[in-house]
Chain A
Amino acid sequence: EIVMTQSPATLSVSPGERATLSCRASQSVSSNLAWYQQKPGQAPRLLIYGASTRATGIPARFSGSGSGTEFTLTISSLQSEDFAVYYCQQYNNWPFLALTFGGGTKVEIK
């Protein structure tokens, strides 16, 4: 099983500032990496797939980068609605390898 490790666990950021979230895979997942945003009481929302492609309707302030084992989600200028928990998920080589999620990064107001 591929282990996904996210850092930091919590990120304190002021509105308008840039947030950089990291996700590391225990082995290469190529570009088969997605990012989700989850707010309390809601289902996750797809932000990024293919490591860097924004999903439909996702604002341009969200960007993803990386390949192999190191990935980054950047929120260029945090808006009030962006304070949430963010998860990465790898889907490399499914169904031969299980899908796995990272433990999440909570972005909170500083």
Chain B
Amino acid sequence: QVQLVQSGAEVKKPGASVKVSCKVSGYTLTELSMHWVRQAPGKGLEWMGGFDPEDGETIYAQKFQGRVTMTEDTSTDTAYMELSSLRSEDTAVYYCATSLTTAIYFDYWGQGTLVTVSS
């Protein structure tokens, strides 16, 4: 069983950056393809990006290109998602999510981290 435990809620001012962590247990991070999905209040799910283990690259959704960075610390089995130049529209719950298969659907999710952007 994979368990994903995320860092706590954050409140940020417009223009700032936020870094959310996702700690993996049950498996090692190198055995997984970690992705990030966000959900604005009352809205649907939005994929932000994820790791492609085939070539070792992280693929970002075009919408977030240049503003998001996803990294991994394999020594602690922790994944990170950093989003910069925050604006009010970035207020959302951010989830890490993964699968044990090569097909990218998500059978394991973190509990979510609420990021609030407000002046």
Which of A46, A100, A102, A103 is within 8 Å of B107, CB to CB?
A46
Contact of A95 with B by CB under 8 A: yes
Docked complex Cα distance between A94 and B47 (Å): 12
A89-B62 in contact given A101-B44, A101-B47 (Cβ < 8 Å): no
Check A91 against B105 for contact (C-beta < 8 Å).
Answer: yes
**Chain B residues whose C-beta falls within 8 Å of the C-beta of A50 in the assembled complex:** 103
Cβ-defined contact, A43 with B111, below 8 A: yes
The residues in A between 39 and 93 inclusive whose CB is less than 8 angstroms from any CB of B are 43-46, 49-50, 55-56, 87, 89, 91
Q: How far is the CA of A101 from the CA of B38 in the complex (A)?
A: 11
- Known contacts A43-B111, A95-B52, A95-B59; decide if A100 and B106 are in contact (CB<8 Å): no
A43 with B61: CB separation less than 8 A? no
Please indicate the chain B residues that have their CB under 8 angstroms from the CB of A38 in the complex.
45
Q: How large is the interface on A (under 10, 10 to 19, 20 to 34, 35 or more residues)?
A: 20 to 34
CB contacts under 8 Å to A, within B62-77, are: 62
Check if B107 sits within 8 Å of A89, measured CB to CB: no
B105 and A89 contact, CB distance less than 8 A: yes
Contacts of A43 in B (CB 8 A): 95, 97, 109-112
Closest 5 A/B residue pairs (Cβ): A34-B105, A43-B109, A91-B104, A101-B45, A99-B47
